[in-house]
Amino acid sequence: MRSFRFSSLILLIVGVSIFAGSASATSTVNMNFIGPGGNNAGGVYTFPYNFSVNGAPSTMLICDTFDNEIWSGETWTATVSSLLSGQGLFGNAALDYKAAGLIFASILNGSINANTGNWAIWGLFSQNPQNNAFFQSSGAAGIEAQYLALAANTPNSAFKGFYLYTPVAGSQSQGGTPQEFIGYNPHMAAVPEPGSLALLGTGLTGLAGLFRKRFLESR
């Protein structure tokens, strides 16, 4: 597998922290899929997926929808809501969304490999990725189970700063309903309690880890 590394801290900061539209309430934005970042595993691209949101510079998001497809250059309209709003493609699957947020946080701070972590997120919402050989061989199955258990004991307040980009069916420029994506805006994150901080890996400790993180080569 190819490793994926960013050449500068500036690209990392811009890619993760730029979000268009209102961050505090549900809003509608225009999505333009620039293309995948180059990371791939199990025959498909994984995080990061690069977007221009409302014409803004490139924003890196992670996909949670294995069964839908998108193409570079495709555009659509999406609603932006908080991770636990219950307005995503998978409705009120709060525990799954919480686990996805925790996994994404661990990818951002370098605790989980991007390929394996993205597959674990896909496995939360669909049976199909669980049937892929990479899902088992990479350890994604174990990560999924581990983070579901962690999510059950993590307060909702720890997930401020995580947002869903949910496609509006029929707004796409081609193909079927696009994928849903999760983004993280550190400027909108809450200051978690000490126990949540240790669990989630965000806050000041997580941001420091974010700036020094690496995407390790897939094995």
Spatial contact of 42 and 133, defined as CB atoms under 8 Å apart: yes
For the chain, the average pLDDT equals: 81
Three-class secondary structure of residue 76 per DSSP: strand
- State residue 186's pLDDT score: 87
Tell which residue, 78, 2, 79, 89, has the closest CA to residue 41: 2
pLDDT at 25: 63
Cα separation of the two ends of the chain: 7
Residue 207 pLDDT grade (very low, low, confident, very high; cuts 50, 70, 90): very low
- The pLDDT of residue 152 is 98
Under 8 Å between Cβ of 116 and 62: no
Per-residue pLDDT at 22 exceeds 50: no
Q: What is the model's pLDDT at position 6?
A: 35
Closest by CA position to 52, among listed 81, 83, 19? 19
What pLDDT is attached to residue 190? 53
Q: What burial letters (b/e) apply to 66-82, b meaning 16+ CB within 10 Å?
A: bebebeeeebbbbbbbb
For tokens 């497809």, what's the residue? 69
- Residue pLDDT, tens place only, 169-206: 999 999 999 999 999 998 777 543 333 333 333 332 33
Angle, CA of 122, 16 and 132, to the nearest 5°: 15
Cα(108)–Cα(67) distance, integer angstroms: 24
pLDDT of the residue at 188: 73
pLDDT, residue 87, reads 96
Q: What is the pLDDT of residue 4?
A: 34
* For range 71-81, the mean pLDDT: 97
At 79-138, the pLDDT tens digits run 999 999 999 999 999 999 999 999 999 999 999 999 999 999 999 999 999 999 999 999
Confidence of residue 70 (pLDDT cuts 50, 70, 90): very high
Angle at 46 between CA 45 and CA 48, to 5 degrees: 115
Nearest to 54 by CA among 19, 81, 88, 15: 19
